[in-house]
Amino acid sequence: MDHYRSLLQEGASSNQDTAPFFGFIGAAAALVFSCMGAAYGTAKSGVGIASMGVMRPELVMKSIVPVVMAGVLGIYGLIIAVIISTGVNPASYKLYDGFAHLASGLSCGLAGLAAGMAIGIVGDAGVRANAQQPKLFVGMILILIFAEALALYGLIVGIILSSKAGQSAAPAPAH
């Protein structure tokens, strides 16, 4: 550690070498948390579909909608993770870029986790209720769309944050 202590006191540029840790953890967080949300949504809705399908097998294919919407959350995480992991430039990657990528990944991932939990619970209850009252289908779809929008907000903020990551080399704005 003593070599690094002297580097820290000199303020050497190699102090920024830990920045890729935060970048890659951002990409990992984007994918892992989105997949957690997608998995929860798929599993919870899937159990509801299977239970409901015993009594009304003809409604199963229509009720796959919550599962598809949960799968889309995994796609959102995949998009941000690809943007981040191809954006980690070995030549010049400062701590600013690393923290921006971390924030981007966490925002997309945690939003996807939350949306997945919502989609799972609403999908489960919705498909079971739809089996008993067919007029509820449109209502269930509307609620699922609102839940999906939460993940979309996380994706938008994630894209904005990861676009800031290439700007650490930009000149400071004149005041």
Partner 1 sequence: MKDLTHPLVWFYIPVTLTWICFCISVGNPAKFIDYDWLWLLFRSMSPYFWSALGVALAVGMSILGAAWGIFITGSSLVGAAIRVPRITSKNLISVIFCEATAIYGVIVAIILQTKIEYVQPVDGVWDRYAMLSGYAIFGSGVTCGFANLVCGMCVGIVGSSCALSDAQNSTLFVKILVVEIFGSALGLFGVIIGIIMSGAVTWSGAK
Structural contact between residues 22 and 14, judged by C-beta atoms closer than 8 angstroms: no
Decide if residue 60 touches partner 1 (CB under 8 A). Answer: yes
CA atoms within 13 A on the CB side of 159: 8
In the complex, minimum distance from the CB of residue 96 to partner 1, in angstroms, rounded to a whole number: 16
Which position among 7, 114, 125, 157 is part of the footprint of partner 1 (CB under 8 A)?
A: 7
Collapsed DSSP state (helix, strand, coil) of residue 174: coil
Which position among 11, 54, 172, 174 is part of the footprint of partner 1 (CB under 8 A)?
A: 54
Q: Which is nearer to partner 1, 25 or 129 (CB)?
A: 25
Distance of CA 116 to the CA centre of its chain: 10
Which position among 10, 11, 36, 134 is part of the footprint of partner 1 (CB under 8 A)?
A: 36
Euclidean distance between CA atoms 175 and 173, whole angstroms: 6
* Amino acid identity for residue 27 in this structure: A
Residue 26 structure tokens: 């951002």
Structural contact between residues 126 and 136, judged by C-beta atoms closer than 8 angstroms: yes
Contacts to partner 1 from residues 90-129, by CB under 8 A: 90-91, 93
Which residues bind to partner 1, rule: CB under 8 A? 1-5, 7-8, 14-15, 17-18, 20-21, 23-25, 27-28, 31-32, 35-36, 38-40, 42-43, 45-47, 49-51, 53-54, 57, 60-61, 64, 67-68, 70-71, 74-75, 77-78, 81-82, 85-86, 88, 90-91, 93
